[in-house]
Amino acid sequence: NAGVTQTPKFRILKIGQSMTLQCTQDMNHNYMYWYRQDPGMGLKLIYYSVGAGITDKGEVPNGYNVSRSTTEDFPLRLELAAPSQTSVYFCASTNPGGRELDEQYFGPGTRLTVT
C-alpha cells in the first residue's frame, strides 16, 4: 500500500491564482481530512469527509472548497489564493469502527507559498 499520497510536494502561487491540491488513499478508508499547518503551530482542520458525496467544514474552511466523488480521492481547491494561505497542507484518512481502527494516516504534505 502507498498509503496517503499528495501532489504536488511544493507549489508557489501568485495572489489570485487558483489550484487544486490532490490527495489519494489506497486503504479503502471512508473518512478523509484536510489540515493546514502554519509555522510553529499545530495542525488545523479545513474540511473533512465521511464518505463519497459527503463533505463538511472544519475549523478554518474559508477560501477553500472540497469534493469527494470517490472513496479514494479528496481534492482541496483554492480559488483565489491569498498570502494568508501560505502553509503546509496535510491530507489524512481513517476508518470508523473500534479503537483498533481509529488511527489517522497522514500524507507527506504539500508546501504552498502565495506571493
Site membership for other proteins, residue 105 (CB under 8 A): yes
Are the beta carbons of 88 and 108 closer than 8 angstroms?
no
Kindly tell me which residue out of 43, 66, 78, 81 binds other proteins, with binding defined by CB under 8 A.
43
Site membership for other proteins, residue 45 (CB under 8 A): yes
Are the beta carbons of 33 and 92 closer than 8 angstroms?
yes
C-beta closer to other proteins: residue 26 or 59? 59
Read off the C-alpha cell for 81: 489564493
- Point out which span in 19-27, 62-70, 75-83, 107-115 binds other proteins (CB under 8 A): 107-115
- What secondary structure letter does DSSP report for 45? E
Read off the C-alpha cell for 99: 479503537
Are the beta carbons of 36 and 60 closer than 8 angstroms?
yes
Q: Which residues bind other proteins (CB under 8 A)?
A: 4, 31, 33, 35, 40-45, 48, 50, 56, 58-59, 88, 90, 92, 94, 96, 99, 102-109
